[in-house]
């Protein structure tokens, strides 16, 4: 039985892969920062040597929402560069058969035409709010392609849109939009306060439920034979405003008509519409979880696990 090492295995996507892992015939190893400091090359090398994985799903990263990206640019750049360098270098040294590394649509150029596709990744600078993180992730794709070209390695990158689901980071300050709003609405309702959303609520996003992404990553591992980067996303028609995301969250808490918008905060990038036509052409029958259902499940999980979840 082949071994798959998942870096960042205790995070949002790693946890989703764990939830579906019994459906696949692999020895899954879910690694977290407590198992190995991936910013340290020697630790990374020894850890990989001990486990001897045939495949690596590289999810580990220093991540956060727009305000963490704005306020921690050095950490966002340097830690991600070190993690990615070490994981790919050691995977090459140990002859790992295939590495799937996770990028993000937020690393695409700020000034671009929409929808964005896989070939447009390096066509201009990213939005200044997350430029340090974005460039570190772009370098992961550059490094992966270098290993493809020089050493004929199957080091593949996938680009999901905004991910959400159980086991997310529900931090009010450092979390992404859906988990942060789920936590904030919980607190606001508890104290009978207005549900305050930072910004205007007008920006548009495509969201992918974490278990959908987990299934697609295993599909990439098993079925995707190309070396080119691929976007893993819902369709453009599924794009939704932050305002309407807030309304869906309020509905789950039975706290509707209590939303206000704090326009003292930036909206970040207005839209990041991704073209998923390559994925749909290759995997025509994949069924995405409707965002209403995904938010319902995520709110239920948060309320049940509020005392022990990341926040």
Assess contact for 6 and 31: CB atoms under 8 A: yes
114 is a catalytic site residue: no
Ordered DSSP codes for 125-152: ---GGGHHHHHHHHHHHHHHHHHHHHH-
The dihedral formed by the CA atoms of 65, 101, 275 and 181, expressed in degrees to the nearest 10: -20
Name the strand (E) or helix (H) holding 154: strand 154-160
Assess contact for 90 and 48: CB atoms under 8 A: yes
Q: In the numeric block, which tokens belong to residue 162?
A: 């905004």
Q: In the numeric block, which tokens belong to residue 50?
A: 């001990």
Round to whole Å and give the CA distance between 28 and 31: 10
Q: In the numeric block, which tokens belong to residue 285?
A: 């029958």
78 closest CA partner among 131, 37, 132:
132
Is 88 exposed, middle or buried, given 0-12, 13-18 or 19+ CB atoms closer than 10 A?
Answer: buried
Q: In the numeric block, which tokens belong to residue 302?
A: 């948060």
Active-site entry in 26, 92, 114, 133 = 133
Round to whole Å and give the CA distance between 70 and 64: 10
Assess contact for 207 and 240: CB atoms under 8 A: yes
Active site residues: 133
């Amino acid at each position: 039985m082949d071994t798959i090492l998942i870096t960042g295995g205790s995070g949002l996507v790693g946890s989703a892969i764990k939830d579906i892992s019994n459906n696949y015939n692999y020895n899954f190893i879910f690694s977290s920062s407590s198992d190995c400091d991936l910013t340290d090359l020697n630790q990374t090398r020894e850890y990989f040597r001990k486990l001897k994985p045939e495949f690596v799903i590289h999810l580990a990263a220093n991540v956060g929402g727009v305000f963490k990206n704005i306020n921690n640019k050095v950490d966002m750049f340097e830690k991600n560069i070190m993690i990615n360098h070490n994981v790919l270098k050691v995977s090459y040294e140990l002859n790992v058969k295939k590495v799937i590394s996770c990028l993000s649509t937020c690393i695409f150029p700020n000034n671009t035409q929409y929808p964005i596709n896989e070939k447009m990744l390096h066509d201009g600078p990213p939005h200044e709010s997350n430029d340090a993180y974005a460039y570190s992730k772009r370098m992961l794709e550059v490094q992966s392609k270098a290993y493809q070209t020089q050493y004929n390695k199957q080091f593949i990158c996938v680009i999901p849109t905004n991910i959400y689901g159980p086991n997310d980071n529900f931090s009010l300050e450092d979390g992404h939009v859906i988990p942060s709003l789920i936590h904030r609405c919980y607190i606001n309702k508890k104290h009978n306060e207005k549900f305050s959303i930072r910004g205007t609520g007008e920006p548009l996003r495509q969201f992918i439920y974490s278990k959908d992404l987990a299934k697609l990553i295993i599909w990439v591992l098993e079925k995707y034979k190309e070396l080119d980067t691929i976007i893993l996303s819902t369709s453009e028609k599924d794009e939704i405003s932050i305002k309407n995301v807030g309304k869906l969250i309020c509905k789950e808490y039975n706290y509707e008509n209590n939303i206000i918008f704090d326009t003292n905060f930036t909206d970040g990038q207005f839209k990041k519409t991704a073209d998923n036509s390559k994925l749909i052409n290759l995997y025509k029958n994949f069924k995405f979880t409707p965002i209403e259902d995904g938010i319902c499940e995520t709110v239920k999980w948060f309320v049940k696990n509020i005392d022990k979840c990341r926040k």
